[in-house]
Amino acid sequence: QVQLQQWGAGLLKPSETLSLTCAVYGGSFGDYYWTWIRQPPGKGLECIGEINHSGNSNYNPSLKGRVTISVDTSKNQFSLRLSSVTAADTAVYYCARGRVSGDFDLWGRGTLVTVSS
Amino acid sequence: DIVLTQSPATLSLSPGERATLSCRASQSISSSLAWYQQKPGQAPRLLIYDASNRATDIPARFSGSGSGTDFTLTISSLEPEDFAVYFCQQPNKWTRFGPGTKVEIK
């Protein structure tokens, strides 16, 4: 059974860089879009960006060039970096497996990232 | 960008009742719509994909319908574990998710 396990720092100061990693266990990267999604407390879901096994990535323009998603296929992992964080970046961050059909069939458990001085 | 709206924002029902949730797209998305369930403190779980296909291990009481711009998620008879928030989602970047409908116990 394929599982996603994610980790990373949960408390950051303004202007620091958020860094999270998601590992894929029990399966390969295959023909999926490995995606980061976030959810501010009490709010809805926002796609941050995605990457495929070839390293081709796409990012939400609303994040204005602060995002980098990378992949390490040798470790079956993909990572998120979000620079210059502010309080508005406080959210639960999820990694997810996106299918060609456009939906997300597998999710990590989520990491609460709080940005506070 | 395609925008999804969901109604109602909150649905107050009793166990055993039928729940009907609506999702509307600002332009046609054919049948490319998914539904998710999210419980407090948990990640969303895929329920329905391509508007009407149940995901793996999803009970038959969940069904989806619609195409174009209007979609419906129906829970035929609410179980206690079904009280949660439900999101619809379309594949176009980057406004993918609707704002959600909370199904609460009446």
B66 and chain A: CB distance < 8 Å anywhere? no
A75 and chain B: CB distance < 8 Å anywhere? no
* pLDDT, tens only, A70-117: 999 899 999 999 999 999 999 999 999 999 889 999 999 999 999 999
* pLDDT, tens only, A52-65: 989 999 999 999 78
pLDDT at B96 (0 to 100): 86
User: CB atoms < 10 A from the CB of A115, how many?
Assistant: 19
With CB atoms and an 8 Å threshold, state whether A103 touches B45: no
β-bridge partners, B88: B35
Mean pLDDT to the nearest integer, A10-16: 97
Q: Which of B45, B50, B98 sits opposite A101 (nearest CB)?
A: B50
Q: Which 3 state secondary structure label does DSSP give B80?
A: helix
- List alpha helices for chain B, DSSP H: none
- In contact, B44 and B34? CB cutoff 8 Å: no
B9 and chain A: CB distance < 8 Å anywhere? no
Taking every pair of C-alpha atoms in chain A, what is the biggest distance, in angstroms?
41
Backbone angles phi, psi at B92, to 5 degrees: -75, 135
Q: Which of B43, B87, B98 sits opposite A109 (nearest CB)?
A: B43
* pLDDT, tens only, B47-83: 999 999 999 999 999 999 999 999 999 999 999 999 9
Interface size, chain A vs chain B, as Cβ–Cβ contacts under 8 Å: 59
Q: Which of B46, B94, B98 sits opposite A62 (nearest CB)?
A: B94
With a CB cutoff of 8 Å and minimum separation 6, the contacts of A82 are A17, A18, A48, A63, A66, A67, A89
Q: Which DSSP state fits B91?
A: S
- In contact, B30 and A88? CB cutoff 8 Å: no
